[in-house]
Chain A
Amino acid sequence: MRESRLRAATIRERAPLAVGMLRNYVPWIVLVIVVVVFSSLDPAFLSVTNLMSILNAATIGGLLAIGLTFVLLAGGFDLSISSIMLVGGMIFGTLFINLQLSVGAAVFLSLAATTALGLVNGLVVTRVKLPPFIATFATMFVYTGMSLAIGKGMAIYFIKGPYFTFLGQGKLGAMPMPAVIFIIAAIVAYLVLRTTPFGRAVYAVGGNDKAAHMSGINVDRVRLVTYIISGFLCGLGALIYTARLEVANVVTATLAGYSTTLLDAIAAVMIGGISIFGGVGKMYGLIGGILLVFALSNGMGILGMTQAYHILAKGLLIVLAVGMDIYFRSGVSLRRLLKLDTLKK
């Protein structure tokens, strides 16, 4: 340029602590608090068996949460994730038990099916341009119905197979297999988001889809792929669930008429710092969110708290998360953070 500037040396890679980054730490902080509180109320909370149980529960919901994260990051929403999971389980059960297909074939086909359902979601959102909330609300109904139809309203029991059951109940060293799979999925998701052009495109599309389009990104295709990923992960979650409990369920546990699995995934994602508006959120925040939600459930269960408190807690988590989201996005600087501020739109 005009003068030779040796600025390269002064360009820093690390940003100073930005307020926005807090959103990824909040779940961990709350997690620590929760763990401390629960373990002081009942030391059994910290026992190895209990911790393993938390991890097991977290796996399935966690896989769904990872898929939901991709969708949310690109600016969408998916209410149908637990329903897709049901379909996946049902298809596997039917193929493996009733039709006597091999484990490999059944696994492959059920994953293909859930991925296809994710694709349908993506098409309705990107081609028909229905708002994601409404679109996936409708598909949620349809998929739930599908899962009931496949099994004629009945669950499928005694699902056991040599390699398959290992997937759900075996251990790799000290780690239960589900946790291993979850960790692998989380790592892969992290790598995709951080090191691939697709990952960048996801953040770009969620952050400002017009700008992304004007920068040469195919916005619709990116969104479509996030729904496909979500569908796939729901299928994976279904397989682990089925492998662990040896049953393919027709309906997930419900709370207040809504599926717990769905609620847990949403709570985990949002308290994990993933913005409902899109374009913001990191994997390490998400992991914290997942662990928090399931540790909370577990702890409340140990203490014998009834359903009401479960919903209250999760509802409050979601409200806190959304409030945090709006607050962080309103662009407060560190200085203003310390002063009281009414939550703006």
Chain B
Amino acid sequence: MLRGRRTLSWQAWLAIVVAVVALVPSVTIEGFTHPLTVFVFIKAFALLGMLAVGQSLVMSAGGIDLSIGSTFGISAMVLAMLHHLGYSFEVTLFAGLGVGIAIGLINGLLVTKFRFMPFIATFAMLAVIRAGAYLIHYVALEERMLSVRGTVWTYLATGHTALWVPPSFLILIGLAVVVWWLLSRTRFGLWAFATGGNLNAARAAAVPVDRVRIITYVIAGALAAVSGMLNAGALEGVRPYFGAGMELMSLAAVIIGGASLAGGSASIVGTLLAVLLFTLADRGLAIIGLAPHSKAIALGLIVLSALIVARLVPKGAIGEKRVLIRKE
């Protein structure tokens, strides 16, 4: 079930850590297991999770996408704008997806055809897209802080379903499963990992490396757009700075989830576990009543230590049984 894993039990260890981090506050803190808290937590998890899943896909093919946070933001602005022009949910859905796909396409082209380094290309897009979001806010919306509450998006983000989780969570799980399936059960996934693992070998093996990479960026962009619109549905007013910083969180999640920085390996399960970890930490600290400052320190420390551990643990540390070559 796990894909191109670094060590057999990296994700297992991660799961244990997450379980501990989930259990300790549940037992010790009042109100941690209160349904409302859990609900809020799941909402947050779904949003960051979508971004992280997209990032996993991009990183598996050896790339990196720093623009998804800005895509998250601009899609919300586009949604707000269209909603108040009176367009229906379907239109906003397609428009938002379109924006995400377009951004992903540009990213992919910059990396493949123009040979920009992914880091630089998506970093530039991060700035440009964010500026675009602000432009919409100031120019098109004339600084009004519009709300998209009461739309289908609100329901999707915060509604209650029979399973007691918001639809956004189900959407996330569904999308995660699809991406997981793509990576581990299709030739596309094989191509993606080959591209990330050894670009030259992949080329020589007739893998369409350019096409593969562009598709990863497109999917990441689309996921970010959907996540952004869901987020907009959940909040009171849409602001242009939504999503800032989330691209780095998604990056940290993918790395802690067991992916290799160089590409060629990524684990959806691991990534989601890492997102779980971050969200738990965030919510847990908020519940305790730690003021924002302490929360920030703690969160930063958790991310930092997790990264250090991810860095220092040697790959393939846990011994596996190896079958030696048998001569014929």
Contacts and interface: CB of A to CB of B under 8 A. Distances in A.
Q: Do chains A and B touch in the complex (CB under 8 A)?
A: yes
Interface of A: 124, 128-131, 134-135, 137-142, 144-149, 152-153, 250, 254-258, 306-308, 311-312, 314-316, 318-319, 322, 326, 342-345
Closest 4 CB pairs of A and B: A148-B293, A257-B244, A141-B300, A145-B297
Given A144-B296, A152-B291, 19 more contacts: A124-B304, A128-B311, A130-B307, A134-B307, A138-B300, A141-B297, A142-B304, A145-B297, A145-B298, A148-B297, A256-B133, A256-B241, A257-B241, A258-B244, A311-B127, A311-B131, A315-B127, A319-B127, A342-B115
A129 B307 CA distance: 11
Contacts of B127: 311, 314-316, 318-319
B248 A148 contact: no
Q: Is the interface of B mostly helix, strand, loop or mixed?
A: helix
A319 to B, nearest CB: 5
Interface stretch (B37-45, B135-143, B227-235): B135-143
Contact of A149 (B114, B138, B245, B293): B293
Contacts of A130: 307-308, 311
A153 B137 CA distance: 29
B35 interface: no
B117 interface: yes
Contacts of B317: none
A140 B312 CA distance: 21
B213 to A, nearest CB: 14
Contact of A129 (B138, B248, B252, B311): B311
B178 interface: no
22 contacts: A128-B312, A138-B301, A145-B294, A145-B296, A145-B297, A145-B299, A145-B300, A148-B292, A149-B291, A149-B297, A153-B292, A153-B293, A256-B244, A257-B243, A258-B244, A311-B131, A311-B134, A314-B127, A315-B130, A315-B131, A318-B124, A326-B116
Given A141-B303, A145-B297, A256-B244, A128 B308 contact: yes
B149 interface: no
Nearest to B251: A134
B170 interface: no
B145 interface: no
Contact of B116 (A137, A149, A343): A343
A308 B131 contact: yes
Q: Is the interface of A mostly helix, strand, loop or mixed?
A: helix
Contacts of B114: 342-343
Contacts of B143: 306
B12 interface: no
Contact of B294 (A134, A149, A257): A149
Interface string B295-323: 11111110110011001100000000000
A146 B308 contact: no
Contacts of A250: 293
Nearest to A128: B308
Contacts of A124: 304, 308
B120 interface: yes
A312 B134 contact: yes
B247 to A, nearest CB: 11
Nearest to A254: B241
Contact of A137 (B133, B248, B291): B248
Nearest to A342: B114
B128 interface: yes
B264 interface: no
A295 B96 CA distance: 37
A199 B31 CA distance: 56
B312 to A, nearest CB: 7
Contacts of A257: 241, 243-245
B311 A139 contact: no
Contacts of A308: 131, 134-135, 137-139, 240
B300 A322 contact: no
Contacts of A141: 296-297, 299-300, 303-304
A144 B303 CA distance: 14
Contact of B293 (A129, A147, A311, A326): A147
Contact of B304 (A139, A316, A318, A322): A139
Contacts of A316: 127-128
Given A128-B308, A256-B244, A311 B130 contact: yes
Interface string B170-205: 000000000000000000000000000000000000
B292 A322 contact: no
A152 B240 CA distance: 28
A192 B123 CA distance: 32
Interface in B240-286: 240-241, 243-245, 248, 251-252, 255, 261
Contacts of B115: 342-345
Nearest to A325: B120
Most buried by A among B133, B248, B252, B295: B248
B304 A138 contact: yes
A138 B293 contact: no
A229 to B, nearest CB: 22
B307 A138 contact: yes
Nearest to A306: B138
A124 B130 CA distance: 30
Contacts of B131: 308, 311-312, 315
Most buried by B among A135, A139, A145: A145
B298 to A, nearest CB: 7
Contacts of A311: 127, 130-131, 134
Nearest to B143: A306
A343 B73 CA distance: 29
A268 B135 CA distance: 23
Nearest to B255: A134
A51 B187 CA distance: 62
Contacts of A345: 115-117
Given A148-B291, A153-B291, A345-B117, A139 B134 contact: no
Nearest to B127: A315
